[in-house]
Structure 1
Amino acid sequence: MRLPVPGPRDVLSAFERGTDQIEALVGAVPRVLALLDDAERLMVRASAAIDRVREVTESAHVVVVRTSGVVDDADAQVARITGLLDTFEPSLTRLQPTLQTLADTTSPEEVAALVGLVDHLPALTEQVERDLLPVLTTLGTVAPDLHDLLNVSRELNEILGKVPGIGRLKRKVEEEDEEIEAAAP
């Protein structure tokens, strides 16, 4: 669209047409100046709008870059989780009924007791290794010793049975043992 701004030819042409045209031309000057002022204001506003668009574009670029990093991290995590699920799915599927039963039948008190037991396991393990296992390793040698002790005890009993008066003493001890057993609940 052509602006109604007179050029040099228009001015010469207007001189030729006369004074009416000159008056119209002079009257158009304030309008032309007002149009130029409006154009300058529009240019300033357009420049400010372009600057704001640039700022928004730069901010959006920063967000896009950050989002891209988050998406990459999420992709890596999804790949890890997918691998783990693929690995453990068969076992978890088989264990599901057992886990459900365990969850349904275990009380918070039982869980607390189990946690307490687990907390004591290191000390318990140390005591078993230090005190009990050495005794258990000697049990293989204790059995023959006990057998020998039982034989000696039988022989001693036979010897004592041959001593005069021991038979009566033995019966009295047996009667007292029977009375104690009868009185016991």
Structure 2
Amino acid sequence: MDLTPRALFGLARTTVETAVSVPGRVLDLLGAAEAVVRQADELVTRTARVLDETEALVGRARAVTAAAEGVTTDVGHTARTSRELLDSYAPLAQKAQPLAQRFVDELSPHEVDAAVQLVDQLPVLTKHLIDDVLPILTTLDRVGPDIHQLLEVTNDVRQAILGIPGFTFMRRRGEAKEDE
């Protein structure tokens, strides 16, 4: 290859330009490298944050899973209990259904209102029953002999009055005065 002064000068010029531009390029590369490092730092920070959030989410998911297991256990228990109750009460319900249907069919609004009023009065009725009626009922076993004795005395008095001379005359006279 034949180097002419012009070619040599051009080569030197290109070499110098390249040499002069190297520090700028190195600085640009260093700036780009610093930007990449900053972005990498930011990426690491964000990744750490995402990892922390993921760990927290996994913890909450575990808690939800544990709670769901408890709910599943409760639901299973409730389902078993419901099945047992249905099995126990189904024959009774089937037997009572026609009676309940008849009761509902024949019940009038007026009767429902009366039943509601009666239920509203139950506290008062209960109080009177306990305070007034039941104490009287406990004495009824003593009333029988007393009434029997009273009937005997009344019969004796009647016989005594009938035995009074002139009583029949006085009785007729009293009846006549009442009629007037």
- TM bucket, shorter chain: 0.5 to 0.7
* Corresponding residue SS for 1:43: helix
* Corresponding residue SS for 2:121: helix
**1:90-144 deviation line (CA, Å, top 9, x unaligned):** 334405326635685411x63243242245425523433322331x213442454
Any unmatched runs of 5+ in structure 2?
1-14
Higher relative contact order by CA 8 Å / sep ≥ 6: 1 or 2?
A: 1
Q: Tell me the residue number matched to 1:63.
A: 64
Q: Tell me the residue number matched to 1:151.
A: 155
**Aligned residue among 118, 134, 144 for 1:129:** 134
CA distance change for structure 1 residues 98 and 76 in 2, over 3 Å: closer, same or farther?
farther
Distance 1:119 1:74 in 2: 44
Q: Is 1:106 aligned to residue 112 of structure 2?
A: yes
Q: Give the drift of 1:39.
A: 4.0
**Aligned residue among 112, 122, 132 for 1:117:** 122
Q: Tell me the residue number matched to 2:4.
A: none
Count residues with an aligned counterpart.
154
Any unmatched runs of 5+ in structure 1?
1-18, 180-185
TM-score for the superposition, normalised by structure 2: 0.59
Q: Tell me the residue number matched to 1:42.
A: 43
Q: Tell me the residue number matched to 1:88.
A: 89
CA distance change for structure 1 residues 37 and 142 in 2, over 3 Å: closer, same or farther?
closer
* Partner amino acid, structure 1, of 2:29: P
